[in-house]
Amino acid sequence: MNARDVVPRSKNLDIDALLDDRSIRVIVCCGSGGVGKTTIAAALGLRAADRGRDVVVLTIDPARRLAQALGLTELDNDPRPVAGVEGEGSLAAMMLDMKRTFDEFVESNSDPERAATILANPFYQSLSSSFAGTQEYMAMEKLGQLRGKAEADGTWDLIVVDTPPSRSALDFLDAPRRLGSFLDGRFIRLLAAPAKAGGKAYLRVLSAGFGMFTSVLSKIIGGQVLTDVQTFVGSVDTLFGGFRQRADDTFAMLQAADTAFVVIAAPERDALREASYFVERLEADAMPLAGLVLNRVQTTKVPDLDAATATAAAARLEAGKATSVTAALLRIHADRVATLARQKRLAERFTAAHRNVAVAAVPALPGDVADLAGLRQIGASMSVAPDK
Ligand SMILES: Nc1ncnc2c1ncn2[C@@H]1O[C@H](COP(=O)(O)OP(=O)(O)OP(=O)(O)O)[C@@H](O)[C@H]1O
Ligand SMILES: [Mg+2]
């Protein structure tokens, strides 16, 4: 049985039709943590390039060996050409450097002096390197930049976007707005008041209640931090037209008809439940879904068995002592067949619940996917009419 057989034929996602559709300019790979977003994004990018498109893949935190295979040896926040594309197309790849993206965002939105003040601010430094939601916010920001460049000079006609590792796929859609609301929100504004009012004068005008509130807060998070937040918000407030607005703009970009979402899930109950929520959410937000990729589907290929082990097993068989080895092999085989049947049931349940969602099944390869050959194998497995 083949991985693709877990999905009914009529439900097959035609990945090549998607990659060949020149009206599609952005493909976003989403899914919960560890399901294969980065791998699938790279595989889609390579396959699209092999089929003649000029592609840039924005990866987030790729495994080191995969990064090396893509020629990414350091975080430099700009796309680099990937060697080894077959045919007329081209592939470039980059890893998101969230802090650099944020720094560049500040620099390009303010004069050098003010940018320097912001970049040196301790609250900014923690916001830009470790705040919940910053990675999602900056992935969107980078996508916006790549898109701007693609439109300005035609370097790329397809951008494939990986999304940050998070427990829930929904974080990619929600985190930028959450961060935007936080930074633009009431709480931050209250904190920012003194910076705008010109320093300590604010204490006089605040109600006793709020004064107590800030003094409790400074005990909890430290007076210096509060001052840093106040200075930071005071200095960025007028520059960006609001973080929230910016998050809303990129959100709208994802609703455009030239964008396609690919949701990735492992063939397991929790991952598929998560994928269901995500599919429903995309529909509710009018975001265009291309389909689901069911990644790491079990196949019934006979377990890998090296020559020495096989010879030894044969010897034991000949000596009449083979039961434990053959039994173990049979158990592995039985386990794989049972897994495949379970995965097939889960896939059927998903397709029954989401009748209009096409699905591609990708087999679990024996090792990690860390070279172009592996990525090509994954790309080919997603194609309805496989190359071979
Ligand atoms: N079809 C597959 N067969 C074998 N290994 C795979 C397959 N897909 C992904 N992997 C491996 O699984 C691991 C996780 O994949 P990947 O990094 O793409 O997931 P991710 O969704 O991007 O994770 P994160 O949420 O942490 O970003 C990697 O080591 C990758 O090589
Ligand atoms: Mg990843």
Question: Nearest bound ligand to CA 42?
Answer: 1
Question: What contacts 30, CB < 8 A, 6 or more positions away?
Answer: 37, 163, 169, 172, 261, 262, 263, 264, 278
- The span from the CA of 171 to the CA of 123, in Å, is 23
Task: Determine the atom of ligand 1 nearest the C-alpha atom of 295.
Answer: 1
pLDDT of residue 242: 63
Average pLDDT of the segment spanning 167-177: 77
Q: Which residue CA neighbors atom 8 of ligand 1 most closely?
A: 36
- The span from the CA of 80 to the CA of 76, in Å, is 9
Task: Determine the atom of ligand 1 nearest the C-alpha atom of 40.
Answer: 18
Output the six-digit token pair for 224.
């210096």
Q: Which residue CA neighbors atom 2 of ligand 1 most closely?
A: 364
Higher pLDDT, 35 or 166: 35
Other residues' Cβ atoms within 10 Å of the Cβ of residue 199 = 10
pLDDT of residue 46: 97
- CA-angle at 121, arms to 117 and 126, nearest 5°: 145
Instruction: Record the pTM.
Output: 0.83
Handedness of CA 166, 168, 170, 176 (dihedral sign): negative
Average pLDDT of the segment spanning 212-227: 61
The predicted-structure confidence for 28-38, as pLDDT tens digits, reads as follows 999 988 999 99
Question: Into which CATH architecture does domain 3-305+327-382 fall?
Answer: 3-Layer(aba) Sandwich (3.40)
- Domain ranges for the chain, please list them: 3-305+327-382
Average pLDDT of the segment spanning 77-95: 93
Q: Which of 301, 368, 375, 381 to mutate to test the pocket of ligand 1 (most atoms within 8 A of CB)?
A: 368
Ligand 2 centre distance from Cα of residue 38 (Å): 4
Task: Determine the atom of ligand 1 nearest the C-alpha atom of 34.
Answer: 23
pLDDT of residue 199: 43
Give the pLDDT band of residue 327 (cuts 50, 70, 90). Answer: low
The predicted-structure confidence for 178-195, as pLDDT tens digits, reads as follows 777 777 666 666 665 654
pLDDT of residue 205: 42
- The span from the CA of 222 to the CA of 293, in Å, is 46
- CA-angle at 292, arms to 291 and 293, nearest 5°: 125
Question: What contacts 228, CB < 8 A, 6 or more positions away?
Answer: 121, 122, 123, 124
The predicted-structure confidence for 122-150, as pLDDT tens digits, reads as follows 878 888 887 778 888 888 889 988 999 99
Q: What percent of the chain has pLDDT over 90?
A: 38
